[in-house]
Structure 1
């Protein structure tokens, strides 16, 4: 089969690979659509998280097939897999991005998304990803059937939407909260749609791109702010009698959004971070502690959120035709990576093997 193989930073090649065959409890799908994530881009560009630095080993294990946002048609089932997952050959299916070990302390406590082994599709030798004609769901994966009423390119958005839902859950939004979501890319737009379901008092989206901000309004934002045109911190303070927003979500991956978020969130407010940063971020930690006593929360992956994401797409809660801006053949993977890197013409870019 044709597959994109990651050999190292900026060294991704379209090559021939063996079609996987399922063992007991395993599933093979024919990939119908796979999204290019910002984390895929940062892995491609050589971010330390994936390739290591003086503080850590690299997470990526090349050579590996990338791709953790995907959907496909079940092509083959290993012994017992159909019964375990309620899947049959020909069904459309998705697998959660992490395949837990089920043996570590986190897995034993139901916190499988923080699994110590932490095999995520597309980065590890145990979990090759979906930028290929076929892919394997290992035994122990978390698999879900996907209704065919969801268009296939939209179904590839299940993974990022599920991540957005988890981030919003971490924000513990209350009814009268003023909520700011920085970044109107795929994750930020998903956060807007999920936060809308929490019914905050005021939901504000922030981005440098006016087209993305218009999409954010269609996802449910009450107001949009472009930092190129206004002082966003000043605007939020004016809207809140000088107190600041109650909850701030950082979904840009840019250090400036971290700093501005700390400035605009109120005392005793909540700051939720969901980004892969290309470089270290330096901020005044006095704001977090002695000045505002903030509740700073990380958000990682999408535990227990895939069914909610599937339901939201079924209910057409997001303008998916505006969000999925490009669908390219697998052979054009480099064009897709470049589109995501530029960020000016695209929101979600998908590949079709």
Structure 2
């Protein structure tokens, strides 16, 4: 068992726009638990929504986000302490580079016991629930006894390792899209998740991959990573371009990863009859649309995508084989104590993925 410091620096969320860098007790590993020294933690779009007080995190008498809590669910680190039985259960030793699913499954509910752990009924996510699922915006972090832990191989760079969680989510989304060789695929949103998806969709070799975003820098990165056509809907008629490209029919697959309500209505108009609409985004507010388009007018196949079940090994392997890259996606990094500056940069148009590196 390694010797850990008694306290550590951590970002602690106390409420909307009340996040503080504090000295807190270092977590210790109980039976079957693992403590890692955090190497990097990404700031996700959902972290920004939570920071600004989105009702989906803070709303109601019993909000989903349980403060005070250390946020951060995109992470990797080095094993620093193994609780009793953890080495055998998880196949680990001190010094291994590892990550885990962002969900901390209960292991007991209907979904967990039938292999659908990413839909766990309790649904604790690292970085959102105090005590049971503290996150990684800290020097150290604890994985629970029910965590699904993955070793990160030596050929994966530090920046790639920091992208394993979003890439795993992107793998699941692209799998849900069931992309075929003859498909015209439209991806709305070229943020971190979108740019991960671009690379994965390109590996599927569809007929055409069209990427939409309002940020020209992100469109340029998308083009470099495999997009055939990039469109800024604020400057061009994206729906007309896609319709013209497809003899007026519309795209075969539409993946919504913009996080903006207009991405939904745009996609429903842009997609062909009998198309596949994949919804990935987390929205800050409710989205209203005409549902008759889904049934009566187009008979669409609507598929949701949540987290990255069983896909972390896939993401790690694709990074290891150099079929994926973090180049152009990871743009900035800060220390934990520079959290305020990191959050400010995360809102900047020039930034894509901002990391905290303790």
Q: TM-score, normalised by structure 1?
A: 0.97
What residue number does 2:90 align with? 85
What residue number does 1:184 align with? 190
Deviations 1:175-199 (A, max 9, x none): 2111000001011111111112222
What is the Cα deviation at residue 321 of structure 1?
Answer: 2.6
Deviations 1:12-49 (A, max 9, x none): 00001111111110101100111000011111011111
What residue number does 2:214 align with? 208
Indicate whether 1:156 and 2:162 are aligned.
yes
What residue number does 1:223 align with? 229
Residue of structure 1 aligned with 2:350, choices 337, 345, 353? 345
Residue of structure 2 aligned with 1:320, choices 326, 333, 345? 326
What SS is found at the alignment partner of 2:259?
Answer: coil
What residue number does 1:27 align with? 34
- Which stretches in structure 2 are left out of the alignment for 5+ residues? 1-7
Name the CA distance, whole Å, in 2 between partners of 1:90 and 1:319.
24
Name the CA distance, whole Å, in 2 between partners of 1:338 and 1:252.
20
Aligned-CA RMSD value: 1.2
Name the CA distance, whole Å, in 1 between partners of 2:138 and 2:295.
47
Q: TM-score, normalised by structure 2?
A: 0.95
Alpha-carbon spacing, 1:91–1:212, altered in 2? closer, same or farther (3 Å): same
Residue of structure 2 aligned with 1:275, choices 278, 281, 287? 281
What residue number does 1:298 align with? 304
Name the CA distance, whole Å, in 2 between partners of 1:143 and 1:64.
22
1:72-221 alignment, distance < 5 Å: 72-125=77-130, 126-221=132-227
Name the CA distance, whole Å, in 2 between partners of 1:104 and 1:133.
32
Name the CA distance, whole Å, in 1 between partners of 2:327 and 2:319.
12
Name the CA distance, whole Å, in 1 between partners of 2:192 and 2:165.
10
Name the CA distance, whole Å, in 2 between partners of 1:321 and 1:172.
26
Equivalenced residue count is 350
1:7-26 alignment, distance < 5 Å: 7-26=14-33
Name the CA distance, whole Å, in 1 between partners of 2:122 and 2:210.
37
Indicate whether 1:68 and 2:73 are aligned.
yes
What residue number does 2:3 align with? none
What SS is found at the alignment partner of 1:164?
Answer: helix
What residue number does 2:4 align with? none
Name the CA distance, whole Å, in 2 between partners of 1:328 and 1:312.
27
Deviating runs (4+, > 6 A) in structure 1?
Answer: none
- Which stretches in structure 1 are left out of the alignment for 5+ residues? none
